[in-house]
Structure 1
Amino acid sequence: MNQYKSVGAVLLASVLSFSCHKHFTVKSNEYKQYVISNEVAADSSVIRYYAPFKQQMEAEMNKVIGTASSELEKSSDPETSLGNFFADAILVEARKIEPAIDISFPTTKGGIRNSVSAGNITVANIFELMPFDNEIIILKLSGAGVQKIADYLAASNGQPVSGIRLKVVDKKAYDVTVAGKPLDLNREYIIATSDYLANNGDDQSSLANPLERRNTGKLIRTALLDYVAEQTKNGKSITPLIDGRIVVSGN
């Protein structure tokens, strides 16, 4: 090891010495643009190299892990079946880590990247739904902190949540309940979210300054995969659900 360090030191010294006495400037340059199209012949040696890995990946990604009874559609509505599925799944899986979790707020509507079609659900479908390596984070918030979440949900026309319900009038939150009970500003609540939101992603100030923070090491995507697989094991399909957890009213 010392021999390699000595050789490296000599080479470095030589380079430094050389660079101190020589100076190069670009006299001219030229480039040629190669257009990638169907006219470019495939390199068979490259194909042979990656083909086994491609086949293995496709076999894993095309694996069926569950079924959806009908489409879970991505939309901008205050409450969506896709958002409810996402948040409910994270609440169930996060409670396996911390049973005392009250609320799941794992993503915003923009963080859900694709709808889930009716029929078979594959591993690839979940990767398309959640392509990011975001981790489940557990936060302890004051009642006032949860009120900030409710205020954000109201002002932003709803987001995927579970365990919390509210009514919205003129973008203000009313009748906020957690686990069926009115929000108590004097107590503390446990929240499951993502590291992205917990780290102020999407300017998420409602989760700032928690009383406690716990990193779980479990990816949101893995939790979704586990949830769908467990539902299948129990003989259940993923069924779209709209239950009035966020109700927007007029004046």
Structure 2
Amino acid sequence: MRKFLSIFLVLAVIACNTTYQPSAVQYKDYKVTPAIKQDGAVAFLLKPYADSVNKKMSDIIAVSAITLDKKQPEGTLGNILADAMLVMAEQKYKIEIDAAFINYGGIRLPSIPAGDISRGKIYELAPFDNLIVVQKINGKILQEFLDHISGKGGWPGAGITWQIKDKKAINVLINNKPLNENAIYTIANNDYVANGGDDCKMLKGIPQQNSGFVFRDAVIEYFSSFTKQGKKIFAQPENRVSYAN
């Protein structure tokens, strides 16, 4: 009897438990302008963290011998970033990469001036936490992908060259060999593109190797390797992507 009484009391308490729901919610916009005064207490609280971040972002990781420009169909900034994608993907995944690509819209700076390159500059260049992923695709899908990005004016690539005609990719060479639609190629991209971003639907659903390696970190590591060797960053147009006459 006591057992049933206990169960009854528990159920009664649960049944009587009141759940509250907001009947109305009011919002108010606060404009953030230079006229707003700094909160001294908050600034004091955040200062140690801000100083630490600013110091890290000010670290010089490399020196560029030239101004690196973002251009289509080919630019020096895109070339060096595509090289970083290919080299670091090979190091991270311990496999040979046939071609690597950088989505043009993901390059968030128009150029990097000659001289010192800080860590913060790379964060400006690549602010998104995009990951380097590797996919194995057949030549037919690769041709479809190249046609797609050619229609957008061309994207930076490494390990591959092609020409653009009527917004399609022609004269494609991978490791100096003509593209074979029946062959299997190993390519490196960022996860945004590999998952179908920027209308790259042909890549979506294809198995990926993804170890969580952030592309921005790869660029920092790649650029730093030049400094360790006592070299400056240098890139030049190589007709990796060009318009056919």
Mapped to 2, the partners of 1:246 and 1:199 lie a distance apart of: 24
Give secondary structure in 2 for the equivalent of 1:229: helix
Give, in angstroms, the shift of residue 13 of structure 1.
5.0
Give the 4+ runs in structure 1 shifted more than 2 A: 12-19, 23-26, 29-43
**What TM-score, normalized by structure 1, do the two folds share?**
0.83
The number of aligned residues is 233
Tell me: CA distance 1:143–1:34, structure 2 relative to 1, closer, same or farther (3 Å).
Answer: closer
Indicate the RMSD between aligned Cα atoms, in angstroms: 2.6
String of CA shifts for 1:29-82, please: whole Å, max 9, x gaps: 99987665555443221111011111100000000000111211223x211111
Structure 2 letter corresponding to 1:117? P
Alignment partner, residue 112 of structure 1: 107
Structure 2 partner of 1:169: 165
For structure 1, the 5+ residue unaligned runs are: 1-8
For 2:122 and 2:191, the matched residues in 1 are separated by 19
Distance 1:202 1:35, change over 3 A: closer
Contact 1:71–1:240 under 8 Å retained in 2 = no
1:186 aligns with 2:187: no
Q: Residue 156 of structure 2 contacts residue 241 of structure 2 at CA under 8 Å; is this kept in 1?
A: no
Residue of structure 1 in register with 2:82 after alignment: 87
Q: How does 1:72-221 map to 2 (within 5 A)?
A: 72-75=68-71, 77-96=72-91, 97-105=93-101, 107-114=102-109, 115-210=111-206, 212-221=207-216
1:234 aligns with 2:233: no
1:113, distance to aligned residue in structure 2 (A): 0.4
Partner of 2:18: 17
5+ residue gaps, structure 2: 1-9
Alpha-carbon distance in 2 for matches of 1:109, 1:246: 13
**Matches of 2:224 and 2:129 in 1, distance apart?**
19
Matches for 1:4-43 after TM superposition, within 5 Å: 16-17=17-18, 19=20, 36-37=32-33, 39-43=35-39
> Would the aligned equivalents of 2:68 and 2:112 in 1 still touch at CA under 8 Å?
yes
Counterpart-to-counterpart distance in 2, 1:83 and 1:39: 39
